[in-house]
Structure 1
């Protein structure tokens, strides 16, 4: 009897141990590294959104599992979506963007969209793309792709991420996004679709041949107009250059004429002064001769007459047999 009792006790203990091991094993549930999770009660289907669980194993109870959301990037591909440009032309865009769910707002995402959030966020992103696209012309899509890409990226980012500042961004190294709304004053409408868009790629831009031809024609006409402007400007520059050259030539001629006149004046003055010096020297010499020789008036006149004849090129003076004879040719 005692042996049977011990056997029953051992059986009961064994069953309890097995039950405890089973309960303990099923009480642990895991969240993968690429997931966020909320505990979900299997019996009632209720979800506890008070805490967001990240990767790991958790003892949440045998009646609970994790309702998971993707923590990695959500990739949205958009192929050949029709949009209108600012010049009322239709083009087709292909692009992609990647968004990440905001863990601090995951409860709001769950309560608003549950697990059906992906098509809603995709559609909202495409609507933002279509809303921003008409602000740019066809030429911008061809020649200024980087500007257009940045603008479309910003539009999708604001639509899905909202306009709230990040919680605690005032104290972070990066700081807050410009013109964002303070976190403690944000309403649920300010929080967008509870996702952060980190990347955007503008891929193919498809434009009809007619639009391309018209655009090339417009560009050609613009280049022709620019060329004509340059030609006219060059003509004006040439005329202005010719005018400046003529003015410089006139100034040079005037300077040359003034220099020539001044040189002639200086030469004339120098010649006059030299003649005056010579004549003064002659007068002083004659006066000295008159004084030394003691010539009277008649002799002075004769002497002066002989000097005058001597200066004539066609007069030759000679002395013969003690007599003075004057020969003229």
Structure 2
């Protein structure tokens, strides 16, 4: 009988130990290095937004866990977005960009969108792209890619990131865009969608066949017009050159004729002086002889 009680006590002790181990294990929650986390109560679903937790192991108790947000890059691809240029033509754009959630604004993001912020950011980026391309014509979309990419990057960054200066202005290209507001004076509306677009890449620029034909025709007409202008300029230059050559030749001929006349005059004068001198000498000689 005593042995049975001992065995029961041992079993109960083992069961209790297992329960304690399991409960203790459940009390620990983890946040990975690529995550942010808010503490959430399991039983009620209430989320504590007072602190954003970063990577580590936390003892929260059995009724609490972490609600996780991504702390690393969010990769977005907008494929063949239809936009309009300043000359009212439709062009398809493919762009890629990477954004990061701002830790200090994560409570505001949660309050506004909860975990459903990705579609909102994607849609807002599309709207920003459509607004930014209206200042470019179709030719610029093809020939000025560097300027186009920088303009689109700034437009998407402003729409998603807002108009607040970041704490570190050197952290990425548009961390502190021209005219940004100091963080201490920013309102919730100034903070955009509470994320930073740090990288942006312009992909393909698709032009429809009909637009290509119109574009190529316009380019051809422009080239023909430029060619005709060059031909006209060349004719004018040839005429001016011919006139200048003729003028120089005339001046040279006049100078030659003038030089010839001057030479003949000098020669005739020299001959006359020579004859006069000889005759005078002869006359003097005859006087002396007589």
Normalising to structure 2: TM-score of the pair? Answer: 0.88
Q: How far did residue 24 of structure 1 move?
A: 4.1
Q: How far did residue 146 of structure 1 move?
A: 2.6
Q: How far did residue 23 of structure 1 move?
A: 4.7
Contact persistence 2:39–2:65 (CA under 8 A) = yes
Which residue of structure 2 lines up, in the alignment, with residue 89 of structure 1?
Answer: 89
Q: How far did residue 9 of structure 1 move?
A: 11
Deviation string, structure 1 residues 148-199 (Cα, Å, up to 9, x no partner): 22222211111000011113649x9x98332111211111111100111122
* Range with bigger deviation, 64-73 or 51-60: 51-60
Alignment of 1:169-208 (within 5 A): 169=169, 176-208=176-208
Cα distance change, pair 176–86 in 1 and its aligned pair in 2 (3 A)? closer
Query: Equivalent residue of 1:275, what SS?
Result: helix
Which residue of structure 2 lines up, in the alignment, with residue 242 of structure 1?
Answer: 242
Which residue of structure 1 lines up, in the alignment, with residue 118 of structure 2?
Answer: 118
Alignment of 1:65-214 (within 5 A): 65-167=65-167, 169=169, 176-214=176-214
Which residue of structure 1 lines up, in the alignment, with residue 3 of structure 2?
Answer: none
Deviation string, structure 1 residues 102-153 (Cα, Å, up to 9, x no partner): 1111111011111111111111111111222222222222222332222222
Q: How far did residue 7 of structure 1 move?
A: 11
RMSD of equivalent CA atoms: 2.9
Which residue of structure 2 lines up, in the alignment, with residue 287 of structure 1?
Answer: 287
* Range with bigger deviation, 259-268 or 143-152: 143-152
Normalising to structure 1: TM-score of the pair? Answer: 0.78
Q: How far did residue 33 of structure 1 move?
A: 1.8
Tell me, in whole angstroms, the C-alpha distance in 1 between the residues paired with 2:86 and 2:163: 26
Deviation string, structure 1 residues 3-27 (Cα, Å, up to 9, x no partner): xxx9999999988876665554333
Tell me, in whole angstroms, the C-alpha distance in 2 between the residues paired with 1:59 and 1:285: 147
Relative contact order, higher structure (CA 8 A, sep 6+): 2
Tell me, in whole angstroms, the C-alpha distance in 2 between the residues paired with 1:89 and 1:152: 18
1:29 aligns with 2:29: yes
Report how many residues are paired. Answer: 287
Q: How far did residue 62 of structure 1 move?
A: 3.4
Deviation string, structure 1 residues 234-275 (Cα, Å, up to 9, x no partner): 111011111111111111111111211111121112112211
Cα distance change, pair 112–242 in 1 and its aligned pair in 2 (3 A)? same
Tell me, in whole angstroms, the C-alpha distance in 1 between the residues paired with 2:168 and 2:160: 20
Contact persistence 2:164–2:176 (CA under 8 A) = no
* Range with bigger deviation, 35-44 or 244-253: 35-44
Query: Equivalent residue of 2:37, what SS?
Result: strand
Contact persistence 2:165–2:175 (CA under 8 A) = no
Which residue of structure 1 lines up, in the alignment, with residue 45 of structure 2?
Answer: 45
Which residue of structure 2 lines up, in the alignment, with residue 306 of structure 1?
Answer: none
